[in-house]
């Protein structure tokens, strides 16, 4: 590898507006792709890096039983830098043209891991206070990262289970601060902006409609609605969004955090029970932290249980096929006693 | 299930322009999603439906040793209707509004399965003549389906291996005739149209550039180029496209079919050897068969080896991360002796 090369590169297809990351810093030799994945990941907590957190370098944030603390002696949730970052701090973007159709730049930003203490308890099995602590930690790091120069968007996401791409069994989330807003996010923002102009925000109006229709609602509490969307992309997809119009996740109040923790925990427990601890991905969409205010946006979390694999049709045509009506999935989840 | 309901429903999110299919005809009970997928699929050819093709209803097309034949007594490649179709022939689209933001319509169209005889030989292991026969069959069915009323796009795709979503071990491809063009395809068409206006077609110009740069070329023959794209979405992604500007797959010549079979077989064998029979998806993108002529488009095949799982970051942010440079992947494939 060229030693002058930044260890992770963003590449833009100018014609489509799509970016990819070539994470050469964690590059593997071509031969290493040969190993057949059998879907199993290290389950023992004896050798688990995250159980032995003191070997993982300086933590960025430590919580112990609901409170921020200094030092790693006692912890219940901790944030550390990702050892194999896709985004890395730097002052130089070094943006360059490549031929007529492409551009490259350094994948500048931050990439962190949020770890909860118990190796064997995924989020669905945590207490309300423990889930609230995770939300506190998300919010704390989110607020810190959006203030950094060069970070225009902060992605919080969580992969549970090997089928959902989790490469470490110990429960953990990831937070990435990235320098740009991708085509898909731009499209979502443009859509929200357009519909906000015509009246209320599109999510507010959809939530109103869903509350009237009732059949896709999975759960609601004081501040949040969880539902299986009308155009679900996978069976048992759930979206959790605030009832009030909230554009920026960083402005979440203490009360809303309590309420979000309850909604999250309830939905994850229902999925756990209904589908037998399914693999899943979840992620936040919120207004970017670039120079625009994006007040028209409405933040929300999307949970995608790995109930199927997007294959040639989905990848080629861009239309997802699922084999259960969202109405029936929602009813099934609604009726799960947890 | 409502007996008046069409057994597969398309749902449109009008704000984003994205469609999904809710295939209620093959709907499973909610409980059935609980079963943990272990990634293994029936391997025995004794009980294989596709080995016992005579139990699978009337074939739509039968080939035997390179020639189209009548009847199923002797066959090497056969096309049958998909027993669990996502798209079903009907005269009525029955398009309806649902609330302010959604529409539904019957998932009208066709859904077929292309089966090659040998249970244990995937495409990479077939002879050149056998791969050519598969291309012949693709072309034959493609030409037939695009002429049908109500079919505006024909998708040919292939899933190999359980990790890539193949639910049957016996090698097979699928062909779906669908009534619409999805947002992603519209975007790709618009991009091609825009760049064609400014000069040559975007794919022609990219291919010229790639032939000069050389480092991402995997293979070329008289009519085709196979390369790892500059903005690869997965490690070892390969695109096969004609050197000449060809917009409509249905117009492929006999010579080009021979050449395509050679390119396909070579790339699949290189992937087989390099990555140890990886799971993969491949699919065709070609000009739609709706009322526009789309002469600006340049058809091509995309092969996506399942070298990783798109997880929370890819799904949430829309930026794919891969851990090998396309240049290095291409070099590795180029150097595979097959």
Phi-psi domain of B27 (left: phi exceeds 0; alpha: psi -120 through 50; beta: other): beta
* More confident of the two residues B4 and B30: B30
CATH number of A9-27+38-182: 3.30.428.10
Per-residue pLDDT tens digits for B138-157: 999 999 999 999 999 999 99
Q: Confidence band (pLDDT; 50, 70, 90) for A42?
A: low
Same fold, B9-180 and B184-334: yes
Range in B28-32, B95-99, B207-211, B259-263 the model is least confident about: B28-32
Most A CBs within 10 Å: which of B172, B302, B316, as the mutation test of the A interface?
B316
Per-residue pLDDT tens digits for A72-127: 999 999 999 999 999 999 999 999 999 999 999 999 999 999 999 999 999 999 99
> How close B258 gets to chain A, by Cα (Å)?
24
Q: Which CATH superfamily is domain B9-180 in?
A: HIT-like (3.30.428.10)
C-beta atoms of B15 and A326 within 8 A = no
Q: Which CATH superfamily is domain A184-334 in?
A: HIT-like (3.30.428.10)
> How close B220 gets to chain A, by Cα (Å)?
21
Q: Confidence band (pLDDT; 50, 70, 90) for A3?
A: low
**Mean per-residue pLDDT for A148-159?**
96
pLDDT, residue B78, reads 97
Is the ipTM of this structure higher than 0.90? yes
Q: What is the mean pLDDT of chain A?
A: 92
Reading the block at residue B241, the tokens are 């496209």
In SS3 terms, chain A reads as CCCCCCCCEEEEECCCCEEEEECHHHCCCHHHHHCCCCCCCCCCCCCCCCCCHHHCCCCCEEEECCEEECCCCCCCEEEEECCCCCCECCCCCCCEEECCCEEEEECECEEEEEEECCCCCCHHHCCHHHHHHHHHHHHHHHHHHHCCCCCCEEEEEEEECHHHCCCCCCCEEEEEEECCCCHHHHHHHHHHHHHHHCCCCHHHHHHHHHHHHCCCEEEECCCEEEECCCCCCCCCCEEEEECCCCCCHHHCCHHHHHHHHHHHHHHHHHHHHHHCCCCEEEEEECCCCCCCCCCCCCCEEEEEECCCCCCHHHHHHCCEEECCCHHHHHHHHHCCCC
Per-residue pLDDT tens digits for A304-338: 999 999 999 999 999 999 999 999 999 999 999 99
pLDDT, residue A1, reads 42
Per-residue pLDDT tens digits for A238-293: 999 999 999 999 999 999 999 999 999 999 999 999 999 999 999 999 999 888 88
pLDDT, residue B214, reads 98
Most B CBs within 10 Å: which of A28, A33, A105, A179, as the mutation test of the B interface?
A33
pLDDT, residue A14, reads 85
Contacts of B317 in chain A (CB under 8 A): 153, 155, 176, 178, 182, 184-185, 283
- Whether A39 has a pLDDT exceeding 80, the answer reads no
Contacts of B161 in chain A (CB under 8 A): none
C-beta atoms of A33 and B307 within 8 A = yes
> How close B333 gets to chain A, by Cα (Å)?
9
> How close A159 gets to chain B, by Cα (Å)?
6
**Mean per-residue pLDDT for B100-106?**
95
- Whether A31 has a pLDDT exceeding 90, the answer reads no
pLDDT, residue B1, reads 42
Domain ranges of chain A: 9-27+38-182, 184-334
* More confident of the two residues B197 and B133: B133
* More confident of the two residues B291 and B262: B262
The fraction of chain A above a pLDDT of 90, given in percent, is: 78
Contacts of A232 in chain B (CB under 8 A): 20, 22
């Amino acid at each position: 590898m060229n030693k002058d090369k930044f260890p992770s590169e963003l590449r833009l297809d100018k014609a489509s507006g799509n970016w990819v990351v070539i994470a050469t810093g964690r590059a593997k030799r071509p031969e290493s792709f040969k190993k057949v994945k059998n879907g199993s990941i290290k389950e023992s907590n004896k050798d688990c890096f995250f159980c032995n957190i003191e070997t993982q370098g300086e933590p960025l944030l430590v919580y112990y039983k609901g409170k921020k603390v200094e030092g790693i002696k006692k912890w219940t949730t901790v944030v550390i830098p990702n050892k194999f970052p896709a985004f890395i701090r730097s002052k130089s973007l070094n943006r360059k043209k490549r031929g007529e159709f492409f551009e490259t730049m350094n994948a500048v930003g931050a990439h962190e891991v949020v770890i909860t203490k118990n190796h064997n308890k995924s989020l669905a099995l945590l207490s309300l206070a423990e889930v609230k602590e995770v939300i506190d930690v998300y919010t704390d790091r989110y607020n810190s990262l959006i203030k950094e120069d060069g970070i225009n968007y902060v992605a919080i996401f969580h992969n549970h289970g090997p089928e959902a791409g989790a490469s470490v069994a110990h429960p953990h989330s990831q937070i990435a601060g990235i320098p740009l807003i991708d085509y898909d996010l731009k499209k979502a923002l443009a859509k929200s902006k357009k519909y906000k102009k015509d009246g209320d925000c599109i999510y507010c109006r959809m939530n109103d409609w869903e509350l009237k229709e009732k059949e896709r609602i999975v759960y609601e509490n004081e501040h949040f609605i969880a539902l299986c969307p009308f155009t679900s992309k996978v069976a048992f997809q759930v979206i959790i969004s605030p009832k009030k119009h909230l554009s920026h996740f960083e402005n979440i109040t203490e009360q809303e955090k309590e309420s979000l923790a309850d909604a999250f925990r309830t939905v994850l427990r229902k999925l756990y029970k209904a589908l037998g601890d399914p693999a899943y991905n979840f992620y936040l969409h919120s207004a970017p932290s670039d120079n625009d205010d994006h007040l028209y946006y409405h933040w929300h979390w999307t949970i995608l249980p790995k109930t199927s694999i997007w294959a040639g049709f989905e990848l080629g045509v861009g239309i997802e096929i699922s084999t259960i009506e969202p109405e029936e999935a929602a009813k099934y989840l609604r009726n799960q006693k947890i």
